[in-house]
A and B are shown apart, each in its own frame.
Chain A
Amino acid sequence: MTRSVRCKSCMLAFLAAFALTLQSAAQGNDYFVYFGTYTGFKYVHHSKTWGVGESKSKGVYVSRFNASSGQLGEPQLAAEVVNPSFLTISPDHHYLYAISEDPLSIGPPVDHSSYVSAFAIDSASGKLRFLNSVPASGTSTCYISIDKTGRYVMLANFGSGSVSVIHVKDDGSLGELASFIQDVGHSVDPSIQTEPHTHWIGVSPDNRYVIVSDLGLDEVLIFHFDEKTGMLSPPGPPFVSVYPGGGPRHFTFDPSGKFGYQLSEMSGNVDVFSWDPAKGSLTEIQRVHTAPHNFFGGNHSAEIEIHPSGKFLYESNRRTQGENIRGPDTIGVFTIDQKNGTLSRVQEVLSGGTMPRSFALDPTGNYLLAANQLSNNIVAFKIDSSTGRLTKAGNEIQVDTPVCIKFVPAGK
C-alpha cells in the first residue's frame, strides 16, 4: 500500500519535473523538437542493416528548443515506436506522423511492410498520444510528408520502389489508401539501381503537383495531385533525369516556388531546376558538386534544406558506412542567386559528429540542428543571417541514432 503510494508520488514528482523542464523557457520562440530515430540498428547501407541491436533508442524523442538563445533541453521519450526514421507534422501542428521503416528491425533484405502511425501532439507537454497505425503499402518506407491541406500523407517506399498517398481523417487518424504508384525501371549502378527506389515525395507550393525522387531510376518524377481525392496521375508521369548513377535522394522547392533543388546521394550533386507551376515542369539550370574538393573517400549526401529567407541552401554529406571508413561528415552551405536560383559555395563545416544523415533549420532561421546518426548527438549551429555561415553554438544533446528532426511551436 505505502509502497504503491510512494511510487505514485514518485511518478508525480517526476512528471512535474518533466513538465517544468519542458516549460521553463516557454516564451515566444519556444519549439518542441522531435527526433526520429532507428531503434533496432545503427544504419542501413546498400539495403543492409548494420549495428543491429546497438541502438538504445525507444522511439520518437522531444526536446524543448528556444530559437532566440539556441538552448536545447534534455530529450524525453515522446512516444514508443519501432524505427521511426522519418516524421512529418500536420500544417495545424496538431498531429505528428511517423513511419516505422522496418517494424521488425531485421533490415530490408527480408521484405515486409512498413507502417505509418498517427499521433496527437499535446501542445503543452510535447508528448504524443497514439491514434492509429496503418500499413504503408510498401517496404522500407524512408520518407513521409503531408500535403498543404493536411488531408493526405505521402510515403516513399524505398524497398518496393513505390509511393503511397494515405487519407488523413478529421480526427487526425489515418484512413484509406488514396493513391498508389509503382515505379518501374532501373539505372546504371548494379549495387543499388537494379530496381526503382523511391526516396522522397512532396507537394509543389500550390499543392497541385507531387515530386518524387527515385534513387534507383536516377529520375525526378512529376505527378498531378488532386487534393480532393488524393490521386496522383498520370501513372508513368513526366520526369527529369540526373547524372547516371547519381541517386536522387531528397528534393526541396525554394520558398518563392520558382526553383527546385535535387540532392543526389551517390554523386553528391545538387541539380538546380527552374519550376514552372503553370505547366508543372522542371528545367535544369545548374549542376553543383557538393563534397569538398580535397575529399577522398566514400560519401553519401543526405539532407537538403533552404533557409526561410530563401537566401541559403544547406546540405549534408555523410560517410558511407562504419567508424573506420573515412567520410566527409560535413554540412555544405551555399548562397542562392535570388534572380536565377543558382548556387555558390560559401562554406563546408564539420557536422560535430559522425554521419549527419539529417539536419533541420528552426522555423525562425536562427539555428541549424545537425543529427549525427553514428555519434548519437544533436549539434546546434548558429546561422549568420547575412552570410548563411554556420558556427557551432556550443550546445549539443545526446540522442541515440537520430535520423530526422521536426519543429513544432510550443503552446502555453
Chain B
Amino acid sequence: MKKYLSLLILLSLSVASAHSQSQSSSDYWVYFGTYTGFVYMKEGLPAGVSRSKGIYVSKFHPATGELSRPQLAAEITNPAFLAIHPNHRFLYAVTEDPLSLGPNFDHSSYVTAYSIDSATGRLHLLNTRTTGGTSTCYLAIDKSGHYLMFANFGSSSVTILRIKDDGSIGEQTAFMKHVGRGKDPAFQSKAHPHSIDVSPDNKYAVVSDLGVDKLFIYKFDAATGVLSPDQPPFVEAEAGGGPRHFTFDSAGRFGYSLHEMSGYITVLAWDAASGSFTKIQDAISLQPDFIGANDSAEIAIHPNGKFLYESNRRFRGPEMWGPDSIGVFAIDPDKGTLTEVEQVPPGGTMPRNFAIDPTGSYLFAANELSGNVALFNIDASTGRLSPTKTDLKIDVPVCIVFLPAGK
C-alpha cells in the first residue's frame, strides 16, 4: 500500500511536470481590439467603414508561429484598447467612442469586464461601467490587479476604477484633470492624456499627455486607488512633440516616452525612491531625409530587455501614406540609451499598434488602414525583424494582448 502510494505520488509529480512543461511551450490566445464604427480619425472626425464587430481571438503556437483564423470573441462597439488581468481570468475592453462621433463630440466612454474561458478563448460579459471620461484611448491594470486606470483623451482626464473580487468593475477611486494646451493648434488645443502606466513597484503612475507636451507623474496608493500629484508633478517634452505611449524597462531603471508628432523616443532615468525622471537621450525614429507627416504610435521592450520597438504611421489619410515603419533599437544595458538597428515596413498601412508575444519570438504588427496583422520573426541576438508568411485579415486592428491558453 505504501509502495503504491509513493508510486502514485511519483506519477502525479511527473504528470504535473509534464503539464507545466507543455504549459511553458504551449499555446496562447491572442485578442485583437478594433474600431467597429470607423477606420481612422481624419481631422478629428471619423472616416472609413469598418466591418469589425468587436474583439477577435486567435490561437497562437509560438513554437511554430502558427496562428489560427480569428473568431469573434465578444461583440462590442469600438473596443480600441484591451488589458488582461494579472490572474489571467479577466479581460477588460474600452469602448472608446460608443457613438463613433470623434473626440470632440463624444459624451462618455465605457469599460467592459469579461471573464475568460481559457479552454475556448471565449469572453463572457461581467459588467459595463462608464470610464468617467470621453474618447478613452488607454487602459492599464495596476500590479495588484485591484484597479483599472484610464487615459481619457477627449475630456482631458485620467480616472481609476476599482476591480472587485469577481472581476467586475466597481467604484471610481481617482479622477485627475489636466489643463493647458500645446504648440500645435490642430492637435493640442487642450490637454489629451494618452496613456497611463504604473511603475514596476506599483507606487507611481506615469501619464503621457499629448495635448500639453508633458509626462505627468502621480503617486499611486494601491491600498485606496487614489492618485496624488508627485513633486515635481511632470516632466516637459519638446514643444509640439505629443507624448503618446510610455514604457518602463523591465528592471525599472529607465523610462521610454514615445512622442506621436515628433517621433522622438525620450529616454529617462527613473529614480524609484523619489519618483522622478532625468532626461538622458532624445532618440529620433524619423530619418533625416523623411518628408511628410508622421504619427508615431506604439512602443514596447522585448522580454529580454535588450531591444526596443516603436511604430511610425507616416500617413495622413489614404491619399497620403507611407513609408510606415517599425523601428528597432538596441538598449545599452548600463546607460539605457538607444541605438537604431533598423526600420522595417510593417506589412501594411498605418501600424498603430504592435505586440511582442510573451516568449519574445514574434512581433505582431496591427495595420489599422490595411486591415491586417502581419507576423515578424524576432532575432533574439540582434533584435532584427524578418517577415513571415503569416498575415491575418482583421478589420481595423488597433490593440493586441496575449493570454496563455488553458487545456
Question: Measuring CB to CB, which residues of chain A are less than 8 angstroms from any residue of chain B?
Answer: 109-113, 134-139, 159-160, 162, 164, 166-167, 174-184, 235-236
Are the C-beta atoms of B108 and A177 separated by less than 8 Å? Answer: no
A81 to chain B, nearest CB (A): 17
Contacts of B98 in A (CB 8 A): 235
Residue of A nearest to B157 (CB): A160
Q: Which 3 A-B pairs have the closest CB atoms?
A: A235-B107, A113-B175, A137-B132
Stretch in B58-66, B166-174, B272-280 with 4+ CB within 8 Å of A: B166-174
The answer to whether the Cβ of B11 comes within 8 Å of any Cβ in the partner chain is no
Known: A137-B159, A182-B154, A235-B108. A177 touches B171 (CB 8 A): yes
Residue of A nearest to B161 (CB): A177
A156 to chain B, nearest CB (A): 15
Contacts of A112 in B (CB 8 A): 176-177
Contacts of A159 in B (CB 8 A): 177
Are the C-beta atoms of A134 and B171 separated by less than 8 Å? Answer: yes
Taking a contact as CB atoms closer than 8 A, the residue among B155, B159, B169, B179 that contacts A110 in the complex is B179
Q: Mark B132-160, 1 if CB is under 8 A from A, else 0.
A: 11100000000000000000001111010
Known: A113-B177, A182-B108, A235-B99. A135 touches B130 (CB 8 A): no
Are the C-beta atoms of A137 and B108 separated by less than 8 Å? Answer: no
Residue of B nearest to A177 (CB): B172
Contacts of B134 in A (CB 8 A): 182
Known: A179-B130, A235-B98. A137 touches B176 (CB 8 A): no
A182 to B98, CA, bound (A): 13
Residue of A nearest to B99 (CB): A235
Residue of B nearest to A181 (CB): B107
B120 to chain A, nearest CB (A): 30
Known: A112-B176, A134-B173, A174-B171. A181 touches B108 (CB 8 A): yes
A296 to B99, CA, bound (A): 47
B242 to chain A, nearest CB (A): 21
Known: A177-B171, A235-B107, A235-B108. A164 touches B132 (CB 8 A): yes
B238 to chain A, nearest CB (A): 24
Are the C-beta atoms of A182 and B176 separated by less than 8 Å? Answer: no
A117 to chain B, nearest CB (A): 14
A373 to B137, CA, bound (A): 42
Are the C-beta atoms of A184 and B107 separated by less than 8 Å? Answer: yes
Contacts of B104 in A (CB 8 A): 184
Contacts of B155 in A (CB 8 A): 160, 162, 182
Are the C-beta atoms of A236 and B132 separated by less than 8 Å? Answer: no
Q: Mark B107-126, 1 if CB is under 8 A from A, else 0.
A: 11000000000000000000
Are the C-beta atoms of B175 and A137 separated by less than 8 Å? Answer: yes
A160 to chain B, nearest CB (A): 6
A133 to chain B, nearest CB (A): 10
Count residues of B near A (Cβ-Cβ below 8 Å). 30
Having A137-B172, A236-B107, one finds 7 other A-B pairs with CB under 8 Å, namely A134-B173, A135-B172, A137-B175, A160-B155, A174-B171, A180-B131, A235-B107
From residue 173 to 222 of chain B, which have CB atoms closer than 8 A to chain A?
173-179
Question: Measuring CB to CB, which residues of chain B are less than 8 angstroms from any residue of chain A?
Answer: 98-99, 104-108, 129-134, 154-157, 159, 161, 169-179
B139 to chain A, nearest CB (A): 16
A352 to B175, CA, bound (A): 40
Taking a contact as CB atoms closer than 8 A, the residue among B105, B169, B174, B177 that contacts A184 in the complex is B105
Are the C-beta atoms of A180 and B179 separated by less than 8 Å? Answer: no
Contacts of A175 in B (CB 8 A): 170-171
A283 to chain B, nearest CB (A): 25
B311 to chain A, nearest CB (A): 30
Are the C-beta atoms of A111 and B175 separated by less than 8 Å? Answer: no
Contacts of A162 in B (CB 8 A): 155
Contacts of A183 in B (CB 8 A): 107
Among A164, A181, A182, the one with the most B-chain Cβ atoms within 10 Å of its Cβ is A182
A182 to B131, CA, bound (A): 11
A110 to B233, CA, bound (A): 13
Among B161, B170, B174, B179, the one with the most A-chain Cβ atoms within 10 Å of its Cβ is B179
Are the C-beta atoms of B176 and A113 separated by less than 8 Å? Answer: yes
Are the C-beta atoms of B107 and A138 separated by less than 8 Å? Answer: no
A286 to B74, CA, bound (A): 51
A181 to B108, CA, bound (A): 6
Are the C-beta atoms of B178 and A111 separated by less than 8 Å? Answer: yes
A136 to B171, CA, bound (A): 11
A29 to chain B, nearest CB (A): 39
A167 to B169, CA, bound (A): 13
Are the C-beta atoms of A180 and B171 separated by less than 8 Å? Answer: no
Among B99, B133, B159, B172, the one with the most A-chain Cβ atoms within 10 Å of its Cβ is B172
Contacts of A134 in B (CB 8 A): 171-173
Contacts of B133 in A (CB 8 A): 137, 180, 182
A111 to B178, CA, bound (A): 7
A394 to chain B, nearest CB (A): 46
Contacts of B129 in A (CB 8 A): 176-177
Contacts of A109 in B (CB 8 A): 179
Give 21 pairs: A residue, B residue, CB < 8 Å, sorted on A: A109-B179, A135-B159, A136-B175, A138-B177, A160-B155, A162-B155, A174-B171, A175-B170, A176-B129, A176-B170, A177-B130, A177-B171, A177-B172, A178-B130, A182-B106, A182-B133, A182-B154, A184-B104, A184-B106, A184-B107, A236-B107
B272 to chain A, nearest CB (A): 25
A183 to B155, CA, bound (A): 10
A397 to B159, CA, bound (A): 41
Residue of B nearest to A108 (CB): B179
A195 to chain B, nearest CB (A): 9
Residue of B nearest to A113 (CB): B175
Residue of B nearest to A162 (CB): B155
